[in-house]
Amino acid sequence: MEWTITGIDELEDSAKKLLQEAGERKIMVFSGEIGAGKTTLIQRLCQQLGVDEKVTSPTFALANVYATAHGDEVYHLDLYRLKDAQEALDMGIEEYLYGDRYCFIEWPAVVEDLLPADTLYIRIELIENSHRKIVLL
């Protein structure tokens, strides 16, 4: 499945669509070039899940944990700086991947072999200025 968005105002609907398409799957990985909008889309997903706090990229922290209004946790990982899967294991990635919480992962290539079979893969393609193609794999 894929669709094109022409502006940031369409991200809320895209987040709703992604959560609907995900069904019971809670692990979602996001790929796309720098500036494609991975973090921005994850912000909208978190809003849809009831996160009230500011959602930011965990580039340096590697992982952010957000609380929802219902008391659940949502995990947001950015693995851009990791060199290999062992570094991900050392940071405790299995706790994020095999719990019962939503986990959104940017730059997932380094942990490809560790991801659960039902992971939802999302690619964001930059088409032009504010146009993006969102592809579910």
CA–CA gap between residue 12 and residue 78 (Å, rounded) = 21
53: region left, alpha or beta (phi > 0 left; psi from -120 to 50 alpha): beta
**Could you give all domains of the chain from N- to C-terminal order, each with its CATH number?**
2-136 (3.40.50.300)
Residue 132's pLDDT is what?
Answer: 94
Query: Cβ distance 49 to 102 under 8 Å?
Result: yes
Looking at residue 133, what is its pLDDT? 95
pLDDT on residue 4? 93
Q: Report the alpha-carbon distance of residue 117 to residue 135 in Å, rounded.
A: 18
pLDDT tens, position by position, for the chain (137 residues)? Answer: 999 999 888 999 999 999 999 999 999 999 999 989 999 999 999 999 999 999 998 888 899 999 999 999 999 999 999 999 999 999 999 999 998 999 999 999 999 999 999 999 999 999 987 799 999 98
Predicted confidence at residue 61, as pLDDT, reads 86
Task: State the pLDDT at residue 99.
Answer: 86
CA pair distance 106, 30, nearest whole angstrom: 5
63-67 vs 73-78, strand pairing mode:
antiparallel
**Main-chain dihedrals φ then ψ at residue 99, nearest 5 degrees:** -100, -165
CA within 13 Å, CB half, 124: 27
Residue-level pLDDT at 106: 97
